Amino acid sequence: MTRTQLAIRGSVEAVSFLALALLVIDPMHSLAQEGPPEAPEAGPESAASEVAVEEAVADSAAEEVLKNLTTSPGGVPDSAADAKTAVDMVKLSMAAVEQQERAGIGEKYVIQFGDTFDWVRLASGEWLKGTVKRMRDDTLEFDSDKLGMQNIDFADITHVHSPTVHTYVFDHHISATGRAVVTPEKVIVESENGTQTFDRSEMDSIISGGEREKDWWSMKLRFGLTLNRGNTEQLTFNVDFNTRREDELTLLDLSYNTTFGRTNGVQNVKRHLGELDFNVFLSDRWFLTPLFGQLFNDRFQKIQFRATPAAGAGVHIFDLPKVEWDFQTGLGYQYLKYPEGTSISPDGRNPQNDCFIPLFTYADFDITGDIGLTLSWLTNLVVTTIGNTNHTGKADLAIELNSVINLDIAFLFFRTEDPATSSDPDVTVYKNDYQLVVGVSLELG
């Protein structure tokens, strides 16, 4: 026989032995201790089955099953568990860890994982197989093998079985990177410094990966197109690119949005917007923002170049499983240059240099596991030239089609309180610009 056939045969024999042991030993033990057993309650996980699992793990034969299944370094199976036995093996693995947890877990303890996939157990008793993406604001993003991406309130999760390497972040900026399991009370991580145990109540977030720099990065690219032909020939396209770097202490967001449009062969839209937001977390509520701001160009709003670097601090107003709401402010400098031939008020300076106060708020709503809504509003209150005050509003509804592709519906709003006027009397420069974009986006990382 091949090695694979021997392994399969050994696993089947071990599971069969375990099932027979449970059928024979458990009823005898229950009769000896408590008399005739009562029928378990209906449901995916009865109390009797949980007791049976713990007793099985306590038995040396069950421990031998786990050892036989884990032949790779670090206690991870060579291959994914068979679909019929995967849940049982994961239950055995978790029960073995909890038994050792009660006795005490040392630095040299090796977790014997029951499968190569991540698994989570809900408070209802259901087990989900898939991949842990991340956990922040008490919400776990879990890519289920069958149900797709799920956003789950972490309070509704009793156990996490994760042979995948992640970074686990705790209070006081403590973190550990490695394979891990989460029980109702503890987080147990196999890190480079040995196996470490933390209180579950102190865990702030889980970040995917962590061993390499690229594990901290993610990207999103959206493309939208509007095309009319016939009485009116119109072409407008929008591209939005966002990249994010997130580790246990910082969050960096970089984005670029551009729109071009032509009607009957004449260009009527040309806009570029670059944004940066860099946050340093002080606690689960407060954060510093050493640098944030915009670079903006809009040919038809008569803005050749506007730069608004700023620094400040922020606060999480709401930090709930389904709703996140942040606010940040500070102090900034605005550089504003107009195109040649633009009529500028109030004093004709070009370029103009001003001081402003940024007022920025951001909200994220998890409507369902597959639908999310983000809203943001930025007001740059220019205190030295109030007419240069400007506003940027955004709304983005994302509908997940699969783990990579989303359908996006975005609304953008731009306003300048006292815009420059064109030297051409036939051209009117309005204070407000509105844009609705329907497009497809790709998420990577």
Residue 195 pairs with which residues in a beta bridge? Answer: 190
Answer yes or no: do 174 and 292 share one domain: no
Percent of the chain exceeding pLDDT 90 equals: 49
273 pLDDT more than 90 = yes
For residue 68, pLDDT beyond 50: yes
Q: Are residues 184 and 294 in the same domain?
A: no
* Same domain as 189, residue 247: no
Q: Are residues 273 and 156 in the same domain?
A: no
Closest to 416 in 3D by CA, of 326, 349, 338: 338
Q: Are residues 376 and 431 part of one domain?
A: yes
Residue range 326-356, pLDDT digits in tens: 999 999 999 999 988 777 765 678 899 999 9
Two structure tokens written together for 312: 């400040």
Question: In whole numbers, what is the pLDDT of the chain averaged over residues?
Answer: 82
Domain boundary among 211, 235, 253: 211
312 vs 78, more confident: 312
Are residues 237 and 184 part of one domain? no
As given in the structure block, the two tokens for residue 148 are: 């797709």
State the Cα–Cα distance between residues 86 and 107, nearest whole angstrom. Answer: 27
Contacts of 6 (CB under 8 A, 6+ apart): none
Whether residue 41 is predicted with pLDDT greater than 80 in this model: the reply is: no
Nearest to 113 by CA among 164, 168, 156: 164
Tokens of 424: 């051409």
pLDDT in tens, 195-230: 999 999 999 888 887 666 777 788 999 999 877 777
**Whether 187 and 233 share a structural domain:** no
> Among the three residues 158, 187, 211, which one is the final residue of a domain in this structure?
211
Residue 20 has pLDDT above 80, yes or no: no
DSSP-assigned states of every residue in 270-326: EEEEEEEEEEEESSSSEEEEEEEEEEEEEGGGTEEEEE--EEEEEEEEEE-SSEEEE
pLDDT single digits (tens) 363-386 = 999 888 789 999 999 999 999 999
What pLDDT sits at residue 243? Answer: 96
- Tokens 């978790």, located at residue: 94
Under DSSP, is residue 48 helix (H, G, I), strand (E, B) or coil? helix
Query: Does the structure show a pLDDT above 50 at 32?
Result: no
CATH number at residue 358: 2.40.160.40
Structure tokens given for 89: 């093996």
Note down the domain range covering 281.
216-444
198, 235: one domain: no
Lowest mean pLDDT among 59-73, 77-91, 144-158, 374-388: 59-73
Number of domains, the chain: 2
| Rounded Cα gap, residues 135 and 153, in angstroms | 9
- Cβ of 353: how many Cβ atoms within 10 Å? 11
Same domain, 162 and 265: no
Single-letter residue type at 167: T
Q: What is the pLDDT of residue 232?
A: 73
Q: Bridge-partner residues for 324, per DSSP?
A: 319, 364
What torsion do the CA atoms of 174, 177, 180, 183 make, to the nearest 10 degrees?
Answer: 10
Map residue 196 onto helix, strand or coil. strand
pLDDT at 21 over 50: no
Q: SS3 of 31, please?
A: helix
Number of H helices, E strands in the chain: 4, 22
Closest CA to 442 of 140, 222, 270, 122: 222
Other Cβ atoms within 10 Å of 336 Cβ, number: 24
Same domain assignment for residues 151 and 239:
no
Pair (275, 180) in one structural domain: no
Whether 243 and 364 share a structural domain: yes
pLDDT digits (tens, 9 = 90+) for 105-162: 998 999 999 999 999 999 999 999 999 988 877 888 898 878 887 888 899 999 999 9
Query: Of 170, 177, 166, which is closest to residue 142 (Cα–Cα)?
Result: 166
- pLDDT band of residue 66 (cuts 50, 70, 90) is low
Q: Which of 183, 211, 239 is where one domain is finished?
A: 211
pLDDT digits over 287-322, tens only? 999 999 999 999 888 899 999 999 999 999 987 767
In this prediction, residue 445 carries a pLDDT of 65
Q: Would you say residue 59 has pLDDT above 70?
A: no
Would you state the pLDDT for residue 211?
60
What is the token pair recorded at 277?
């937001």
